[in-house]
Amino acid sequence: MIHLAHVTKTFGATRAVDDVSLEVRPGEIVGLVGENGAGKTTLMRIAAGEIAADAGTLEREGRAELVHQHFMLVDALTIAENLALTHRGFRFTTRRMIEREAQQIIDGSGIELRDAARRVAELSVGERSKLELIKAIARKPATLILDEPTSVLTPTESEELFRVMRRLSAEGTAVVFISHKLPEVLAVAERIVVMRGGRVVVESATSETNAQVLADAMVGSPVSRFPGIPVAGQLGNRATGQPGRGEITAIVGVAGNGQAELAARLRDELPDAGHIPEDRTRDGVIAEMTIAENLALKTKRWSPRDAARHAERMIALYSIRAEGPLQRAGDLSGGNQQKVVLARELEWIKSPSSALRAPSPRRRGEGLSTGTSRVPLSPRAGRGWREAPGEGLHLIAAEPARGLDIEATRFVHEQLRAAATAGASILLITSDLDEAFELADAIQVIYRGQLSEPMTPAEASQRVASLMAGVA
């Protein structure tokens, strides 16, 4: 049980949480929704006792566990060792014992995670988030708080998570589910709390509200936020599975089936293309550098003044919420960091030195191989790209909208669509099927390092689930 009364928390000039009162009762699932920076995470960190509020009171019965959006794992250690870190006091033990205990903890959590002897560094993002969850559940908290847990999970994995949440709630655990994805919250939560600008703007039983009301409350103005499945673009000759000019091909799949390897391979094969990495805090921005410096990483020339001027333009153009070009990128919210990466990569492929400005007829038979070939791609395909960068992909975006709020997600999607309209061929690697169907002209499924034939979205909607599960 958690009872927060008139809680306020200020960081610098921003009031992250502003006079919020909230109760979480044993055995209920509360959905906490809001855009990036609405104060959800701050509020829950106060509830979990991680940080202290400036004003207001907190009553808590039993332990509250907050599962973070960012991973709190030791990469160099195995799954078992990471679990042992949180669950064992100091006593002598063996690797075998640790692994056996880890297996028990994993089995007890009801979450599927194989081979506890693997190092965390080798795990996919989805698997890491599962491990975080197992860690938290094993501590038997009275309240479990999940911060954006589904952003890295596939639909099947999300379903698995919801089952675990329902089971825990049936056993009397209170669950707080922080999310941007309204359909999920509507499906699993009994009560929904919407935050905006540090305040609670809506609190309602799930049965008494709907997606449109909640979305309007999140954004603050009644706008249509849920475009339907888009019209499928005309399918070109896509025998090779490579998007043509102006097309977006989505590669969907359960995390850990070779997406990371594919993206890394393409990064090394196609230095002339733009690349949006999956893990933006680790691979996207350099936290210690300024926005201006981050934006300049791909330029040929650099002077602080020009870079600052360029950054001013980008901040306006990509509506990056920042104090100015000289703010540290690490101080930006996740969504704004992603906009910095997006700005850098899109401006790069638009720049005169890049492939997008020098169109040449596309050669067939080169590109992503399909069917039986595995990722890493065949060397022949790789050579083809290296020799002719102008004919290959322009942008490879991995999970470009992961963890972003509705507004930022829509912005990123608009930018990708605009780039495609301008003639870029884009490969979208995503575990978010909604995103794939919304943006892509063609969809391929990746399963255990193999790519399926490209499908039209209509075709894909029938077959994606079974292909992703490897049963087709």
Partner 1 sequence: MRRVLVAVIAAVAAVLLLAFSGALFGHSPIALLAILIRGSIGSRFALEGTLLKSVPLLLTGLSVVIAFRAGVWNIGGEGQFIVGALAALAAARFGVIASLAAAILAGAAWASIASLMRLWRNAPEVLTTILLNFTAIHLLGWCVNGPLRERAAQYPQTDLAAAALPVVGGVHAGTLIALAASVFAWWMLYRTVEGLRLRATGLNPNAARWAGIPVRSQIVRAMAISGGAAGLAGGIELLGVTHRLFERFAAGYGYSGIAVALLAQLHPLATIASAAFFGALVTGAGELQRTADISAGVATFGQAVVILVLIVFEHVRSSR
Q: Do residues 342 and 320 make contact, with C-beta atoms less than 8 angstroms apart? A: no
Q: Give the range of 7-15, 241-249, 281-289, 428-436 binding partner 1 by CB under 8 A.
A: 281-289
Count how many residues are written for the chain. 472
For partner 1, the binding residue among 34, 37, 256, 277 (CB under 8 A) is: 277
d(CA 415, CA 450): 29
For partner 1, the binding residue among 207, 303, 360, 421 (CB under 8 A) is: 303
- Verify binding: residue 51, partner 1, rule CB under 8 A: no
Q: Do residues 144 and 175 make contact, with C-beta atoms less than 8 angstroms apart? A: yes
Total residues at interface with partner 1 (CB under 8 A): 24
d(CA 364, CA 76): 43
- Verify binding: residue 91, partner 1, rule CB under 8 A: no
Q: Give the range of 40-48, 158-166, 269-277, 366-374 binding partner 1 by CB under 8 A.
A: 269-277
Q: How far is CA 90 from the centre of its chain?
A: 36
d(CA 447, CA 154): 13
- Verify binding: residue 1, partner 1, rule CB under 8 A: no
For partner 1, the binding residue among 81, 101, 147, 293 (CB under 8 A) is: 293
For partner 1, the binding residue among 112, 115, 288, 323 (CB under 8 A) is: 288
| Residue 266 Cβ vs partner 1, minimum distance, rounded to whole Å | 11
In a 10 Å sphere around its CB, with 0-12 CB exposed, 13-18 middle and 19+ buried, how is residue 78 labelled? Answer: buried
- Provide the H-helix boundaries in 88-210: 95-109, 125-138, 155-170, 182-188
- Verify binding: residue 267, partner 1, rule CB under 8 A: yes
- Verify binding: residue 300, partner 1, rule CB under 8 A: yes
Q: Which is nearer to partner 1, 60 or 298 (CB)?
A: 298
For partner 1, the binding residue among 138, 182, 250, 285 (CB under 8 A) is: 285
Tell me if residue 206 falls in helix, strand or coil. helix
Q: Give the range of 21-29, 117-125, 208-216, 279-287 binding partner 1 by CB under 8 A.
A: 279-287
For partner 1, the binding residue among 70, 282, 313, 364 (CB under 8 A) is: 282
- Verify binding: residue 296, partner 1, rule CB under 8 A: yes
Burial 148-169 (b: 16+ CB within 10 A, else e): bbbbbbbbebbebbbebbeebb
In a 10 Å sphere around its CB, with 0-12 CB exposed, 13-18 middle and 19+ buried, how is residue 203 labelled? Answer: middle
- Verify binding: residue 75, partner 1, rule CB under 8 A: no
| Residue 57 Cβ vs partner 1, minimum distance, rounded to whole Å | 26
- Verify binding: residue 283, partner 1, rule CB under 8 A: yes
- Verify binding: residue 331, partner 1, rule CB under 8 A: no
Q: Give the range of 68-76, 85-93, 278-286, 316-324 binding partner 1 by CB under 8 A.
A: 278-286
d(CA 223, CA 226): 9
For partner 1, the binding residue among 275, 339, 402, 413 (CB under 8 A) is: 275
For partner 1, the binding residue among 220, 304, 359, 470 (CB under 8 A) is: 304
Q: Give the range of 85-93, 99-107, 287-295, 373-381 binding partner 1 by CB under 8 A.
A: 287-295
Q: Which is nearer to partner 1, 210 or 353 (CB)?
A: 353
The CA-atom distances, in angstroms, between 85 and each of 82, 196, 248 are: 5, 37, 44
Closest CA to 252 of 471, 434, 13, 47: 434
- Verify binding: residue 230, partner 1, rule CB under 8 A: no
For partner 1, the binding residue among 344, 394, 402, 413 (CB under 8 A) is: 344
d(CA 128, CA 73): 8
- Verify binding: residue 397, partner 1, rule CB under 8 A: no
Q: Which is nearer to partner 1, 281 or 370 (CB)?
A: 281
Per 3-state DSSP, the chain is made up of helix, strand and coil in percentages (nearest 5) of 40, 20, 40
Q: Which is nearer to partner 1, 1 or 287 (CB)?
A: 287
Q: What is the DSSP string of 232-250?
A: PPPP---TT----TT-EEE
Strands 426-430 and 442-447: unpaired
Q: What is the DSSP string of 253-268?
A: --TTSSHHHHHHHHHH
Long-range Cβ contacts of 358-365 (<8 Å, 24+ apart): 358/390, 359/245, 359/390, 359/423, 360/388, 360/390, 360/391, 361/391, 362/244, 362/245, 362/391, 363/388, 363/391, 364/237, 364/239, 364/240, 365/240
For partner 1, the binding residue among 3, 245, 298, 417 (CB under 8 A) is: 298
For partner 1, the binding residue among 141, 253, 256, 284 (CB under 8 A) is: 284
Q: Give the range of 11-19, 239-247, 288-296, 426-434 binding partner 1 by CB under 8 A.
A: 288-296
Residue labelled with tokens 């690349």: 275
Interface residues with partner 1 (CB under 8 A) are 267, 271, 275, 277, 282-289, 293, 296-304, 344, 348
